[in-house]
Amino acid sequence: MKSLLANLHSLSPHALPAILGICAVAGFMLPLMIWGEHSRLCVQDVLDQSPIQQHRAMHQENPLWLSGKPDPTLLKGAAPAAAGPELRGEFWAYYFLKPFNAYLLNQWLSRLVAFFGMYLLIHCLLREHAWGVVIATTVAMLFACLNFYPPTPFTVPVLPWMAVSLLMIYQRQPSYWPWLVLLVAPLLGSFLLAPAFLLGMVWLVWFFLAITGRWHWRLLGALSLSTVANVVCSFALAARGFSENYVSHRTLWVPMFTGKTAFDCCKTTAANFVLGNAHVHTHHYLLLPLLLIVTTGIVLVALRRKEWPGSPAASTGGYLSQPALMLPIVIFLCALCSFAYGFWQYPEFQRIWFSIPKFGMINVSRFHWLHPVLWYLAIAYCLAYLLDLPWLRQRSHWCWLLIGVVFCGQAMVILANRESALAYRAGTPSYAQFFATKQFDAIRDTIGMEPAEYYVASLGMHPSVAVYNGFYCLDGYQSDHALDYHLAFREIIAGELDQSEELRKYFDQWGGRCYLFSSELGKDFVYTADREQSIAKLRIDPEKFREMGGRYILSAVEIRDPAASNLNLIQEFPASEYDSAWTIYLYRVDGDQTRSKVSNSN
């Protein structure tokens, strides 16, 4: 075994870390590979929108959407940004593979990208540290096993690659590949989620250098190149943002958080600082006490001595290679991102921000998308600082013990909160049961028309199920869609919104989900067959539903009085006959010649 490790090290000092990283990703992905479509995935931001929208978008007539045509199967084509920027690389997996296999491939690739990117970044920062390679490998393996945001799985993993590329260009290292990375990165990440804010922070650094008389032209060129490349790869999104013809439903967000006090925002800030990004859980709370204790100790020592520990001038890596200096800075940046997230919800800030034309479409709170990279950089700097302490540096076995405890503790938390484990604890049905293709084939055969000839809407389940099975849907989940469609759809569900203040605020103050809401069901959209749920009636406007092209409602709950909304039960499709998660009630929406709408008081 020792000879094998020696041979690997002689081949390349990075060979063993690479093998360990690949093995870690393989071990993490093994359950999904074994169970296949019988795996359980989270509903939020996975089964409710991805990989369904990406698969359908890639099988339009023009996969690159260069014609600008929206996907007609979702929100009746009112969501032109349904699949994101036109040149995103992960979408091509859905063009060549089945949706689940494409999802699996993107999970594999995104985690490998995450491991090697974080490894390179930490190794570049700590290359002179005696434990630099070990720290880089340990932290990168943990980082690669986070639950990355499924609709854009490469957005966070690509950030370390962008950071290390900009760092190498800043250090004037003679290499072409950092420039290549900055050109390729926009093909992977979603620009407005995270890369835009990373570039924004580095732009601020460049302006600071310029103001102090240190003009760094190579860094200026790199930032300009990356910014232009991202805009080009997101050209349709950028065009809509400055178009007078497209008005986003997000303009209704003002004021989005009416009633939020400064104290409420402080609590949100603190919660975000402790728990991290809501879409990419960092699970750093286990190590947060250690990080804060070490950071506080560094600051107190520096204040007492009136100088920071370490000697940046003595290192070719400069200030960035000094853990004692960089750990407090990284923790401060994490706090700053949390502050932006928390006080983005402050009504006074919202009123000012949304009063600026087009600024309402820019979500400042998204600075917290930098949390995963920042927190794991903080862990790396913390380990580097501790392992450099004189009393610990002389005892290698204690160093290995510290690294082992940190790795095992953090790995246990990450594995306990991996996507499949969360889905299992939540009782989520399997992928195959959730989408129930045989059941929906039977529904389509019962209707007897081509899907393009009519529109449907779903009740008690996410519209993604119908979209996945080839139906054209009036409803859907899309965080950016046309305002006129949003208001038209609201007329359909106005009766139910009037019955529930919670649903009214949910739709009017956010509105990303254009769903058939029911005041009896609330904001729960997974009414599986085992719950045996029913509602008294559905307060919708049947005439408006038919005017928008809707003909059928696919309901996962029984409506006891369908005639009150001009609904006619066509057939029931029991879950037991199709190995499905749902018992589907197929209702046809009949017109009301007298235009007598359902009374909201009923």
Element (H, E) at 585: strand 584-589
Domain boundary (352, 383, 418) is at 418
Tell me if 56 is assigned to some domain: no
Domain boundary (395, 418, 441) is at 418
Tell me: do 158 and 267 sit in the same domain: yes
Question: The pTM is what?
Answer: 0.88
Tell me: do 438 and 408 sit in the same domain: no
Buried b / exposed e over 297-311, threshold 16 CB at 10 Å, is ebeeebeeeeebebe
Q: Give the separation between CA 510 and CA 513, rounded to whole angstroms.
A: 8
Q: Give the separation between CA 403 and CA 135, rounded to whole angstroms.
A: 8
The pLDDT of 511-536, averaged and rounded, is 92
If pLDDT is split at 50, 70 and 90, which confidence band does 395 have? confident
Q: Give the separation between CA 250 and CA 279, rounded to whole angstroms.
A: 20
If pLDDT is split at 50, 70 and 90, which confidence band does 409 have? very high
Q: Is the pLDDT of residue 39 over 80?
A: yes
Looking at residue 156, its pLDDT comes to 93
- Read off the pLDDT of residues 434-449 as tens digits, 9 standing for 90 and up: 999 999 999 999 999 9
Lowest mean pLDDT segment, chosen from 2-6, 170-174, 205-209, 480-484: 2-6
DSSP string, 190-207: -TTTTHHHHHHHHHHHHH
Question: DSSP secondary-structure letter at 148?
Answer: -
Tell me if 308 is assigned to some domain: yes
Looking at residue 597, its pLDDT comes to 41
SS3 string of 439-471?
HHHHHHHHHCCCHHHCEEEEECECCHHHHHCCC
Half-sphere exposure of 64 (CA within 13 A, CB side): 6
Number of compact structural domains in the chain: 2
Tell me if 123 is assigned to some domain: yes
The pLDDT of 319-339, averaged and rounded, is 91
- Read off the pLDDT of residues 448-462 as tens digits, 9 standing for 90 and up: 999 889 999 999 999
Of 193, 179, 200, whose CA–CA distance to 84 is shortest?
193
Tell me: do 468 and 528 sit in the same domain: yes
Tell me: do 123 and 15 sit in the same domain: yes
Looking at residue 84, its pLDDT comes to 47
Which residue, chain included where needed, has tokens 């009136």? 306
Tell me if 191 is assigned to some domain: yes
User: Helix, strand or coil for residue 553?
Assistant: strand
Looking at residue 343, its pLDDT comes to 85
Q: Is the pLDDT of residue 225 over 90?
A: yes
Output the average pLDDT for the chain.
84
495: domain range? 431-589
Tell me: do 404 and 464 sit in the same domain: no
Looking at residue 70, its pLDDT comes to 64
Which residue, chain included where needed, has tokens 């879409």? 279
Tell me if 580 is assigned to some domain: yes
Tell me: do 376 and 448 sit in the same domain: no
Looking at residue 11, its pLDDT comes to 54
Q: Is the pLDDT of residue 362 over 90?
A: no
Tell me if 536 is assigned to some domain: yes
Question: What token pair was written down for 237?
Answer: 């999104």
* Position 471, amino acid: F
Tell me: do 87 and 1 sit in the same domain: yes
If pLDDT is split at 50, 70 and 90, which confidence band does 128 have? confident
The pLDDT of 71-89, averaged and rounded, is 62
Question: Which residues 6+ apart lie within 8 Å of 477 measured at CB?
Answer: 48, 49, 462, 463, 464, 512, 513, 514, 515
Tell me if 384 is assigned to some domain: yes
C-alpha gyration radius of the chain: 26
- Read off the pLDDT of residues 190-202 as tens digits, 9 standing for 90 and up: 887 888 899 999 9
If pLDDT is split at 50, 70 and 90, which confidence band does 313 have? very low
Of 293, 297, 291, 298, whose CA–CA distance to 322 is shortest?
298
397-406 CB contacts, 8 Å cutoff, 24+ apart: 399/131, 403/131, 403/134, 403/135, 403/138, 406/138, 406/287, 406/379
Tell me if 75 is assigned to some domain: no
Lowest mean pLDDT segment, chosen from 119-133, 140-154, 225-239, 332-346: 225-239
Tell me: do 505 and 572 sit in the same domain: yes
Looking at residue 30, its pLDDT comes to 93
Tell me: do 404 and 515 sit in the same domain: no
Domain boundary (418, 449, 477) is at 418
Contact at 8 Å (CB) between 341 and 268? Answer: yes
Looking at residue 600, its pLDDT comes to 40
Tell me: do 213 and 92 sit in the same domain: yes
The beta strands (E) that lie in 86-232 are given as: none
Tell me: do 375 and 309 sit in the same domain: yes
Tell me: do 143 and 115 sit in the same domain: yes
